[in-house]
Structures are given as structure tokens and as C-alpha cells.
Structure 1
Amino acid sequence: MTAYVPFVPLPLDQEDVRYEHGPDSSRRPGVPHGFTVELHWESTAYPGTTRKVWVHVPAAYNPAEPAGILVFQDGWWYLDPEGEVRGGIVLDNLVHRGDIPVTIGVFVDPGVFEDIEDPVRRKNRNAEYDAFGGRYGAFLLEEIIPEVRRRFVISDDPERWAIVGGGSGGSCAFTVAWHYPDRFRRVAGFLSSFTQLPGGNNYPALIHMTPRKPLRIFLQTGHRDLRWNQPDHNWLAENLRVAAALAEADYDFRLVLGDGGHNPNHAGVLLPDALRWLWRPGDAD
């Protein structure tokens, strides 16, 4: 089946490119609103940190039928109905239309040290997100998701579990799925900060050396992402290297390259289609 893409002229000046949101990023007439529960969380995995977590439940949720789960990093940034991504609105629209299965969104803010006044040292975001290892994934699986499951019925099927993030949250989402493919089979990373991983970006080599994991991966990067024309710590180049390795290793993946810079605009515009693609029929295995 041929997919026809409407003609859109390429912008000649790439210095300030913005994408227009589609209809699923706004409230649609006749689509019932889900509800959101806000939690305040003190972590044991990251001692001394607190954070807010929002759980968004689409109106179609039925406790008699287990829901899927979609975890977002940088919680409020991705949930904010006035922001660029509008994750709760997108979930309401896609679930209502049957484009994706009934899925509960879990929007997790990075931790902060409330007793530290310095605004830089107060944030634990980079320590949590820009790390290679299973610690953050274990935090989700041992602390946050059990609390969600205490309130709502969540499917055990890993094909119904997904994780999303942007920037450092994007590479974090990839790392969680990489270490826990028995739980998270769907992952979307926008403008991922692979270049900030301690010791450098080892994913291209790891992808080649490791037996293929049963993951479905959506990546987005921007032609004007950070240091896009520099020889080192080039965010664009590192995303392209990861994408190339996934292609050579025969992963079920998709790469979207935009003209924008390091901001969530393109991610927000793409989110509805990214979720449709992640949950399209067929296994990632």
C-alpha cells in the first residue's frame, strides 16, 4: 500500500524552524477527558530526592481490562496541556479513536534535593538521566510503577509497555528499554543526549555486539540540535550513529530528522504519530 505524503516546501533558512501541531495535539470535540492523579514521591533509589509524578488515565479505562502503560520523563513538561507535547491530550485522543490500546500515562519529574538552595546542585536530572546502567529503570520498576499498579490495573504484557523522553530523558528512555526489554518493548527518544553518557556514547558498538533485543524504537533528532556542526559532543551526529547501528542490526526502528533545534516543538508534533507507529500491528521481535 502506497502512502502519499502532501507536498510541504523545505525551509531554506534553518535558524528558527517551528512545526505546526496536528489535530490530535488539541482537544477534539466529543472526546471525553481523562483524569490525572498527582503524587509526591520520596525516592529510596535516589536518597534525599523528591519529585512529582502525574498519572493520566484516559476515560476509556476499565478496571476489568488491564491497561498498557506509557512512562514519560520530565513529567510536567510532557503533560502540560499548554506546552509543546501535551501528552495527556494526545492519549485521550488516540485511545478514544482506537489508534492505540487503552494506555495509562505516567509522567515522572526528575528528582530534586529540596534541602539544597543552589539551583544547579538542587537538580538530580542529569545524574538520573545521563547514566548508563539499570538504576533508573529499577527505580521505575520498584518504586513508581508498583504505586501506579496499586491504584490501576496494568497489563503484564511487555508489548503494552512503552517509555518516552527527550534530550537527556530520551537517552534515559533508550537505556531503560535496553536494560529491561522484558518489561519495556516500545521506546521513543526525541533529541536524545547520547553524547552526554559518561564515558561517551557506547550504544553504536553495543548494538552491534549484543544479540538483537525485542524492541521497537522511534528516534527523532534535529538538524540544528546542540553542537550540530562541531567535531565533538555533537548531538545530531550521535543520534545518527545510534540510528545507523539500529539499521545495520535489523531493529524495528524509525528515525525522523527535522530542521529544528534543541527544543520539544518537533517532538510534540510527532508524538501522536510516534505512538501510533509504536503500537502498530505486529511484534517487534
Structure 2
Amino acid sequence: MPAYVPFVPLPLDQEDVRYDYGPDSSRSPGVPRGFTVELRWDSTAYPGTSRKVWIHVPAAYNPAEPAGLALFQDGWWYLDPDGEVRGGIVLDNLVHHGDVPVTIGVFVDPGVFEGVEDPVRRKNRNAEYDAFDDRYGAFLLGEIVPEVRRRFAVSDDPERWGIVGGSSGGSCAFTVAWHHPDRFRRVAGFLSSFSQLPGGNNYPALIHTTLRKPLRVFLQAGHRDLRWNEPDHNWLAENLRVAAALAEAGYDFRLVLGDGGHSPNHAGVLLPDALRWLFRQPPGN
């Protein structure tokens, strides 16, 4: 059966575009709310930093049946029920309707140096998210995930583990899965900052020369993302290069290209469908 997409006229102005949210991004009558646990975390992987972590547990969670896991970077931006992405609301709706298996959302803020007054030096976000190594993934697996598993039953199946992020958090999510495909096999990157990786974006070459990893990848790019018409450090171009490499290498991959600039609005609108697609089951399962 073909999938029919409703007609929507293309906007003439590609700069100032906002997408309307679907029903899964708002509280729905009859959908029970999950609960959220808030933690403060002082990291050993990033000495001197502290951060907040929110663990969102859908109402259908049963300790006798281990849940899947979805880790979101820029924690509160992605969890805030009044924000652009509304990750907890989305999980509640999708789990309740059976669109994804029961999945616990873990929303991790980037670290800050509490004693530093300078607002730039205080933030450790770029040091954590823009790095091209396994340090941040090791932090999640060595510190955050064990704390989640201490409190809740989590499946060992890596096909049920996802990682999500936007901007630098998007390229970070891809880097974590690239280094740890034994744990994270579902990746969503929105307007990912591949252009900010130290030494440049090596992923297109690596994807072509590395044995294909067992990843399923959802990417979103924007026609008017940062430096979209510049010859270097071009967010749009680098996302397209990664997407093309994934397609040519035969990955289970999807790209959504939209209008607008470097805004989380489109990511929030897409999140329900992205999670459905990432965690979909083969026919008959």
C-alpha cells in the first residue's frame, strides 16, 4: 500500500519557517503520564563538572519486563514539556499506543564547572559533544547508564538502545554509536554539527572505509542551517555528506531535509516519527 502524504505548499521564504506539531507532541486525553526522576551528577570522567540528569519512565513500565533505553543530549532542552522537543510527552504517547516498546528516556545535560563565573568557560558542552573519541560514550556507559540500571530494569538488547541529540548533541550521538555499536544501535541526529568536529568531518571517509556497523540512523538537515552557503564549516553540506556516505555504504538510514535555520522546532516535530522508525520491528514480530 502506498503512503499518502498530505499536500503542503512549499514556503517561498526558507529562512523563517516553523513546522506544526502533530498529536504525539502534546498531552493526549487517556494517555497516562509517566514519572520523572531528577538527579544531580558530579562526573569522574569530566573532573570538576556537575550536571542534571532526568530519567523519564513511561507509565507502562513493568520491572518484570526490562525496558529499552533512549539517551537524549542537552537533557532539559529535550525534556521540557513546554519546549520545542517535549521528549517525555512523546515517549508517553508512543509507548501507550504501542508505537514503540516500553522505553525509558534518559535526558542528560552537558556538564558545567560550578565555581567558574565566566559563562563561556563555565560550560563544558563543546568539549564533551564536539570531541571525536569515545570519552563521552564511556562516560554514559560508565556513569549514567549504571545509575539508571540500579533503579530500573533495562534490557541488554542493543537493538533497544537509542541515542538522540541536536546540533553538537547530534554529532555527539552519532559518535557515541560509532564507537559503541555493541550498546547503541539506534541514532537520531538533528542538524548535527559535524562541521565542528576537531580536524574536520572525517565521517564520510570513515563510513566508506570501515566495515558496516549495525546502526540504524535518522538524520535531519536544514536548507538554511548555519553557514549553509559558505565553502567551509557548512552545517548543511556536512550533514548531506554524512547522509550520502551512509546511503552508499548500505546503512539502514533515513534523511529528512527541511527548511528553516538552526532551530530545534523541526526536530521536535519529527521526534515521534523518528522514534517510530528507529525502533520499528520487522514484519511479523
* TM-score of the two chains, using structure 1 as the length reference: 0.99
Distance in 2, Cα, partners of 1:274 & 1:282? 16
Percent identical pairs in the alignment equals 87
2:24 maps to which residue? 24
Write out per-residue CA displacement over residues 48-85 of structure 1, whole angstroms, 9 at most, x where no aligned residue.
Answer: 00000000000000000000000000000000000000
Write out per-residue CA displacement over residues 76-123 of structure 1, whole angstroms, 9 at most, x where no aligned residue.
Answer: 000000000000000000000000000000000000000110000000
2:201 maps to which residue? 201
Aligned pairs (5 A) from 1:186-225: 186-225=186-225
Aligned pairs (5 A) from 1:142-181: 142-181=142-181
Q: Which amino acid in the other structure matches residue 198 of structure 1?
A: P
Deviation at 1:195, TM superposition (A): 0.3
Distance in 1, Cα, partners of 2:93 & 2:21? 14
Runs of 4+ in 1 over 6 A off after TM superposition: none
Write out per-residue CA displacement over residues 226-264 of structure 1, whole angstroms, 9 at most, x where no aligned residue.
Answer: 000001100000000000000000000000000011010
Distance in 2, Cα, partners of 1:282 & 1:203? 28
- Note if 1:85 corresponds to 2:82: no
Write out per-residue CA displacement over residues 195-236 of structure 1, whole angstroms, 9 at most, x where no aligned residue.
Answer: 000000000000000000000000001000000000110000
Distance in 2, Cα, partners of 1:17 & 1:82? 19
Distance in 2, Cα, partners of 1:142 & 1:97? 33
Distance in 1, Cα, partners of 2:213 & 2:3? 29
Aligned pairs (5 A) from 1:1-285: 1-282=1-282
Distance in 2, Cα, partners of 1:129 & 1:266? 21
Distance in 2, Cα, partners of 1:50 & 1:15? 36
**What secondary structure sits across from 1:36 in the alignment?**
strand
Deviation at 1:282, TM superposition (A): 3.0
The two structures, once aligned, show a CA RMSD in angstroms of 0.7
Distance in 2, Cα, partners of 1:282 & 1:52? 36
Instruction: Identify unmatched segments of 5+ residues in structure 2.
Output: none
* TM-score of the two chains, using structure 2 as the length reference: 0.99
Deviation at 1:3, TM superposition (A): 0.6
Q: Which amino acid in the other structure matches residue 214 of structure 2?
A: P
Q: Which amino acid in the other structure matches residue 271 of structure 1?
A: L
Distance in 2, Cα, partners of 1:150 & 1:15? 46
For these two proteins, the number of residue pairs brought into alignment is 283
Q: Which amino acid in the other structure matches residue 77 of structure 1?
A: W
Distance in 2, Cα, partners of 1:34 & 1:281? 23
